[in-house]
Amino acid sequence: MIVQTPYRKYADLLAEYFPYKVQKLPVDGGFTCPNRDGTKGRGGCTYCLNSSFHPAYGPSSLSITEQLEQGKRFFAGQYPNIKYLAYFQSFTNTYAPLAELKLKYEEALRAPDVVGLVISTRPDCLSDEVLNYIQQLHKRSFVMLEIGVESTDDQILKAVNRCHTFSESEDAIGRAVALGIPVCAHIILGLSHFGTYTAREEALRLSKTPISSVKIHQLQILRGTKIAHLYDEAQRKQTSEPTCCQQMFLCLSLSKYIDELGIFISHLRPDIAIERLVSQSPSELLIAPRWGMKPEAFQLLFEKYLIDNNLFQGKFYDSFLCEVANKRTNNDKQY
Ligand code: SF4
């Protein structure tokens, strides 16, 4: 029996490429980030804690081949005929000379049962030279780019120190897709700028770009991040006045996040696959929100919410509304 879900799942997108189950295996390629080393900025995005990206198996001091072998052992036996995508996740995985990128990507592709790559990066780290090389790789192996868009609102991007704009995301997505490279956009729901956050506008603006999939998660306040200090400060003040913290983010309750996600998905273009709805950082790193719910349980709860409220992906999607949302963000370009 085919069970229809109220949104397009990432597995459906992967099924267009692979006739078997594929599992992403996070690997740490030893990259850094231009928003940390001073090239674009220092200190990184206010919410970033890269140690929360590491997989449950294996330290990142291992070679790429060794990390992939460890990852495969972790998933062995869970599915018959399973194959793998090497997922370059930590930091900015196109931020290195082309020769170094080639060595790392091609080492991953030589690992047995690895049938492709997913490369996570910033929109301002995708030169034509790098994209042309990825296009060549994609002709012989699956390669997907995961671009950290995070928000479509430049004021929000500035508030969280992303050090790039939404138009840079649009440009990178457009150039990659023009070369035939599928793109997943990473987006955080809960970032704000003086309360101007709207899931509806984010979905409409993203829908104007030629992305294949989107990976969504709630803003998480993680220990040791800049945003954690702002959160602590706001908690201490316990004021209803707008605080520095409220200018930059909303720490959403579970029910509010479900509402916002419902708005986002019902305004999203219907062919965009949804890779992830929620994130779960290790408990020892997470300050807030602490919903105490595993992603699988969240998914069931959210799907029930959509069905109960007669919502589904693209219900309110309209290409004219996308134009309006985009125009508004272009008019708001100045910080
Ligand atoms: S979130 Fe990404 S771009 Fe921002 S500081 Fe962390 S690694 Fe760099």
Distance 225 CA to ligand 1 centre (A): 11
CB of 123 closer than 6 angstroms to any ligand 1 atom: no
The residue whose C-alpha atom lies closest to atom 4 belonging to ligand 1 is 45
Question: Per mean pLDDT, which range of 62-66, 188-192, 287-291, 329-333 is the poorest?
Answer: 329-333
What spatial distance separates the first Cα and last Cα of the chain, rounded to whole Å?
52
CB of 280 closer than 6 angstroms to any ligand 1 atom: no
Is residue 1 predicted with pLDDT exceeding 50?
A: no
10-42 pLDDT, tens digit each? 999 999 999 999 999 999 999 999 999 999 998
The residue whose C-alpha atom lies closest to atom 6 belonging to ligand 1 is 48
Our mutation pick for probing the ligand 1 site, out of 45, 169, 220, 227, counting the most ligand atoms within 8 A of Cβ, is 45
The mean predicted confidence, pLDDT, of the chain is: 89
Mean pLDDT of 76-96: 92
Is residue 247 predicted with pLDDT exceeding 70?
A: no
Is residue 134 predicted with pLDDT exceeding 70?
A: yes
Confidence (pLDDT) at 322: 73
Distance 92 CA to ligand 1 centre (A): 7
Confidence (pLDDT) at 54: 57
Contacts of 226 (CB under 8 A, 6+ apart): 43, 44, 46, 47, 161
CB of 27 closer than 6 angstroms to any ligand 1 atom: no
198-214 pLDDT, tens digit each? 899 999 999 999 999 99
CATH topology (fold) of 10-331? TIM Barrel (3.20.20)
Distance 160 CA to ligand 1 centre (A): 11
**Ligand 1 atom closest to the CA of 91, numbered from 1:** 7
* β pairing state of 221-222 and 286-288: antiparallel
Confidence (pLDDT) at 332: 44
Distance 45 CA to ligand 1 centre (A): 6
The residue whose C-alpha atom lies closest to atom 2 belonging to ligand 1 is 91
**Percentage of the chain surpassing pLDDT 70?**
87
Mean pLDDT of 48-61: 64
CB of 126 closer than 6 angstroms to any ligand 1 atom: no
**Percentage of the chain surpassing pLDDT 90?**
74
> Distance of alpha carbon 10 from its chain centroid, rounded?
13
Higher pLDDT, 18 or 74: 18
CA 188 vs CA 140, 147, 157, 252, 302: distances in Å:
32, 12, 11, 12, 17
Indicate if the alpha-carbon torsion angle 257, 258, 261, 263 is positive or negative.
negative
Our mutation pick for probing the ligand 1 site, out of 48, 53, 126, 165, counting the most ligand atoms within 8 A of Cβ, is 48
CB of 186 closer than 6 angstroms to any ligand 1 atom: no
253-302 pLDDT, tens digit each? 999 999 999 999 999 999 999 999 999 899 999 999 999 999 999 999 99
Confidence (pLDDT) at 193: 63
Question: Per mean pLDDT, which range of 46-55, 230-239, 257-266 is the poorest?
Answer: 46-55
Residue type (1 letter), 58:
G
